[in-house]
Structure 1
Amino acid sequence: MTEIEKQLDLAQEIISATQEVFSSMLMIDVTGEDISASGRSVIQSNMTSMIGLGGGVRGMLAVHCPAEVAKAITGGFLGMEVEELDEDVKDAIGEIANMVAGNLKIAYANGGVNVELAIPTSVIGKSFRLSGIGGAIRHYVSFQLESGPFWVELMYVLS
């Protein structure tokens, strides 16, 4: 276990950060479950938005959503029905990832680790696989909305 992991419960930080974002931006309460220990979980995602992490932590934070969940989240942001995975959806899920990563950046800073954030990148498709840094530490947290599940993933190595 790394020093930062001794100081921070990163799965709980992901849960708290995501709850804060959904509560303040969408007025929705979500609960999260750390599924990191259950091994590599299969995530059924049509939409993934990622934020690169740099500085004292290298890696990424990703929000993975099935199409219906991504459209529901976007509809909550925009206050209207969303019919397709379009630029509005990419922007909305990218902003969710950005805000969750921003909250984690604060948690890391409180633990003495400086983290820099990149610009969100979004991927939409029916069949894609994300790979990352070999030997990285990964945390997966599953969340549930009325429209279905979504996941937040943190993958990192300490610099």
Structure 2
Amino acid sequence: MSAKLSVEWINPFIEATEEILETVAMITPKRGQLALKKESTVEYDVSGIIGITGEAIGSIALSFPKKTAIKVVSNFTGEEVLGVDNDTADAIGELTNMIAGRAKKIFSDKGIKLKISVPNVVIGKNHTIASPKGTPTIVIPFESEEGEFAIQVSLVPNPSEE
């Protein structure tokens, strides 16, 4: 396995995010500067989170400000969404699931076997997404015509799989 924060572990999630959101939500994400996350608080209001196991362990989170979440979900569902409710949360969970599934396929094509969990969605201003101690988290911000959002990737090689 490669080093803990190799671009090989991050790029599939960037590629999957851009591909899925362009295809199903009709937005064009523009990636910002990657950063190592220093604290658990998220500056956004809605996050879809999926656990990852297999040859790597960790999680991916797709986080939106409320305004962007509403616009992206409206594009995704083809219906005007007026607020963040259970249906909006389900759609964010599904988008997160699609991104994680696409990234899993990219890893599989490289011979890396991963499993993904069912998505969980957290709603609330400045909520917390904690990673296990010793698991670095990379935040990848995006800009789009519908607003800003970010993905967070917390992933390390699974010591029991090496």
Distance apart, 1:84 and its partner CA: 1.2
Distance apart, 1:61 and its partner CA: 0.6
Q: Which amino acid aligns with 2:101?
A: G
Deviations 1:42-78 (A, max 9, x none): 7421101101111111111100111001111110012
Residue 142 of structure 1 pairs with residue 141 of structure 2 = yes
Q: Which amino acid aligns with 2:70?
A: K
What's 2:109 paired with? 110
Q: Which amino acid aligns with 2:111?
A: G
Q: Which amino acid aligns with 2:97?
A: N
What's 1:20 paired with? 19
TM-score of the two chains, using structure 1 as the length reference:
0.87
Distance in 2, matches of 1:32 and 1:40, equals 20
Root mean square deviation, CA, Å:
2.2
Q: Which residues in structure 2 correspond to 1:21-100 (within 5 Å)?
A: 21-37=20-36, 40=38, 43-100=42-99
Distance apart, 1:15 and its partner CA: 2.1
Structure 2: where are the runs of 5+ without partners? none
Q: Which amino acid aligns with 2:2?
A: T
Moved more, 134-143 or 62-71: 134-143
Q: Report percent identity of matched pairs.
A: 27
Deviations 1:4-36 (A, max 9, x none): 866x53333222111110121122221112422
Distance in 1, matches of 2:68 and 2:95, equals 13
Distance in 2, matches of 1:20 and 1:121, equals 21
Distance in 2, matches of 1:4 and 1:48, equals 24
Moved more, 64-73 or 123-132: 123-132
Distance in 2, matches of 1:78 and 1:111, equals 32
User: Per the alignment, do residues 98 and 104 of structure 1 end up closer, same or farther by CA in structure 2, a change over 3 Å counting?
Assistant: same
What's 2:155 paired with? 156
Distance in 1, matches of 2:129 and 2:5, equals 24
Question: Retained in 2: the 8 A contact 1:14–1:141?
Answer: no
Distance in 1, matches of 2:147 and 2:22, equals 17
Q: Which amino acid aligns with 1:2?
A: S
Question: Retained in 2: the 8 A contact 1:55–1:116?
Answer: yes
Question: Retained in 2: the 8 A contact 1:50–1:60?
Answer: yes
